Chain A
Amino acid sequence: MKTAALDAQANTSAVIRLQGLQRRYVMGAEFIDALRAVDLTVEANEYLAIMGQSGSGKSTLMNIIGCLDRPTAGEYWLNQQRVSEMNDRELARARNQAIGFVFQTFNLLPRMTALANVEVPLIYSGLNRKDRYVRAKSALETVGLADRMMHRPSELSGGQRQRVAVARALVTNPSILLADEPTGNLDSSTGNEIMKLFDSLHEQGNTLIVVTHEQHIADHAERIVRLSDGDILSDQKS
């Protein structure tokens, strides 16, 4: 079996390229290597699932890819740009423009309507009120929530909240959509709806990375990377 990582090293047009990525958590005298030396390349329009047991380093990897966390060692290129060289403004811009992040716990702002939540990234993109409205509305339509725009998160079901979160991740047309256990807090039928949504987003040409520990969720993806104890165990087409 040939690993996709080897193939990708020659390719410079990758959306994401990780090389020898390490993330060490230091707690006093002790430390944990959540990631040891991860090499990974993701091309445009790929649909990737990251699998692994709890504590294997999936979230740590996603947070680094999402520019929310920094690696202890190794290199990360996002759209051919070296992330370690970015300053606060450039990182904020990368989170805003290049990446759409869907969290397991939704992370919607509770006092705002669905529409206002989806508009938040557009505020930081510097769009005016009217453009924000148009784009947020169309993102909510994409996830099938056109009729729930004025609801607050507390007035929505779990599946609907996650759809709002997906709309919010989509709204800036990012290069890549990251989802860390997006169905983890949902029942299985709602989870399946979200996965169908991801499938259709992939069909529309989006690049996706979905973290899960459930095989039937991972089966939606074209490629499955298995993590174990901070290392890539396998990387194969599904």
Chain B
Amino acid sequence: MLITETIRISLMSIRGNLFRALLTMLGIIIGVGAVITMVALGTGAQRAIDEQMAALGGDILSIQSSSWFSRGVARDQQTLTTDDAMALAVGSEHVSDVVPEISSRFQIKYGNKNFNLTTIGTTPNYPDVHGFTLAHGEFISPADNSARRRVVVLGSEIPGMLEVDAALLVGQKVQIRSITFEIIGVMEAKGGSGWRNPDDDIWIPLSTAQFRVTGNEFVQTISAKVSDASTVPMAMLEIERVLRREHGVLPGKDNDFAIMNRKQFAQSRQEATQVFTYLLAGIAGVSLVVGGIGIMNIMLVTVTERTREIGVRKALGATKGNILLQFLVESTILCLLGGLLGLALGAGASALLAKYAGWQTVVTSESAIMAFGFSAAVGMIFGIWPAKRAAGLDPIEALRHE
């Protein structure tokens, strides 16, 4: 009963000086607004990474020869072969698909135009595993691969670079390292997965690349697709086992290859983003504390101004506890109102940032509740001192106060 009365009295005194209440709350409004905005930005960035991770499909393990790491000596030794890829496809049950890849930057000529493009020699299942779809024409076929045909598929941005309509390019010729290739397809745009842009690559049959370029059976990368993300650790063990057997690595010796997990990269990036979010929110939180000090300052002034009222209330039967509660409730209400306005400010700022700066922002209920709880705590903590001062006033002294 008394608490509702206390809240009513507090609201009345806040309403009695609305403008000052607003100025008092300003620190909290800005503090909460800043926390909400920062967390919204951080959460937005994380969501963007989440979406990228989802776009990666199940999971793709990337296997590379690890000659670079060999006992600290940089030796350009290649260890992976097309046979390894076949052994993996057959011998590991958690890997659903295997793609061997060779990539190099080559000079491409089309008419009078000249570009240096990443050229990937690979097998027909490449689009499936890496999540590409064809916009025009076809991808490399098994027949293209076994016959070492000079055919090429272009990334979605290549037609723009060549200034030719994508559909018209299929069937035309380009020169790769002065060798004439026929364009058989153009990819749909896939979008960056964060490291590099895959839309300005071009693809040729693996066997063609090996025959025309490297002259041997080695491949640079084997991508292994794991369709069930939960089996990634098992798949990695399997790959290790198969490749060690294939390469005849003796027990106790280091692997001559390395397995990398793209989701792990994404996850570590996500962790970094999270740390950054907390850091920003922490800095914004400091302004909340500064806002709390502002509240304390005004509450102290209020206590002095209302000394007479406190005296009257005590003369009429208010206990120390009643007065303490009243001022504590008042500063808490001020902070909560400030928190509410700050929430609106933060949500507004986040929406504006999303609209005009193009940053992905997400205002979560957790961040709203957190900022709210924090501002209530600030109100209580910084209200204690003024409230204690009010409660401790001697009734007759307070009544004499002018």
Contact = CB atoms under 8 A, between A and B. Distances in A.
Interface string B373-402: 000000000000000000000011001000
A32 interface: no
A189 B6 CA distance: 39
A213 B318 CA distance: 31
Nearest to B13: A111
B318 A107 contact: no
A109 B312 contact: yes
A185 interface: no
Contacts of A112: 12
Interface string A123-146: 111101000000000000000000
A120 B399 contact: no
Interface in A32-82: 63, 66, 68-69
Given A63-B396, A88-B319, A120 B12 contact: no
Contacts of A69: 395-396
Interface string B196-230: 00000000000000000000000000000000000
A124 B316 contact: yes
Interface in B1-41: 1-2, 5, 12-13, 16
A101 B316 CA distance: 8
A216 interface: no
Interface string A80-102: 00000000110011011100010
Contact of A121 (B12, B311, B316, B321): B316
Nearest to A95: B317
A158 B2 CA distance: 31
* Residue from A92, A103, A121, A124 with most neighbouring chain B CB atoms (10 Å): A92
B315 A123 contact: no
A140 to B, nearest CB: 16
A161 interface: no
A17 interface: no
A123 B312 contact: no
A56 B342 CA distance: 57
Contact of B315 (A88, A97, A107, A172): A107
B1 A107 contact: no
A172 B395 CA distance: 19
B308 interface: yes
Interface in B289-340: 308-309, 311-322
Interface residues of A, number: 27
Nearest to B15: A111
Nearest to A64: B396
A120 B320 CA distance: 15
A81 to B, nearest CB: 16
A96 B317 contact: yes
A123 B317 CA distance: 9
Contacts of A168: 316
A95 B312 CA distance: 11
Contacts of A172: 317
A126 B309 CA distance: 19
A11 B322 CA distance: 36
B185 to A, nearest CB: 80
Given A109-B309, A126-B1, A92 B317 contact: yes
Point out which of A109, A123, A128 has the most chain B C-beta atoms below 10 A from its C-beta: A123
Nearest to B17: A111
Given A68-B396, A95-B314, A123 B319 contact: no
Contacts of A97: 317
B318 to A, nearest CB: 5
Given A63-B396, A95-B315, A88 B320 contact: yes
A95 B313 CA distance: 10
**Of residues B313, B319, B321, which shows the largest number of chain A Cβ atoms within 10 Å of its Cβ?**
B319
Contact of B312 (A63, A107, A126): A107
B7 to A, nearest CB: 12
B1 A111 contact: no
B315 A68 contact: yes
A111 B16 contact: yes
Contacts of A124: 313, 316-319, 322
Contact of B399 (A96, A107, A125): A107
B308 A107 contact: yes
A112 B5 CA distance: 13
A120 B313 contact: yes
Nearest to A127: B1
B317 to A, nearest CB: 2
A107 B321 CA distance: 22
A211 B313 CA distance: 22
B399 A68 contact: yes
B396 A125 contact: no
Interface of A: 63, 66, 68-69, 88-89, 92-93, 95-97, 101, 103, 107-109, 111-112, 120-121, 123-126, 128, 168, 172
12 contacts: A88-B319, A89-B319, A92-B322, A93-B317, A95-B315, A96-B317, A107-B308, A108-B312, A124-B318, A124-B322, A125-B317, A128-B1
Given A89-B321, A112-B12, 5 more contacts: A92-B319, A101-B315, A103-B399, A111-B16, A121-B317
The 7 A-B pairs at the shortest CB distance, nearest first, are namely: A96-B317, A124-B317, A92-B319, A121-B316, A68-B396, A69-B396, A68-B395
Interface of B: 1-2, 5, 12-13, 16, 308-309, 311-322, 395-396, 399
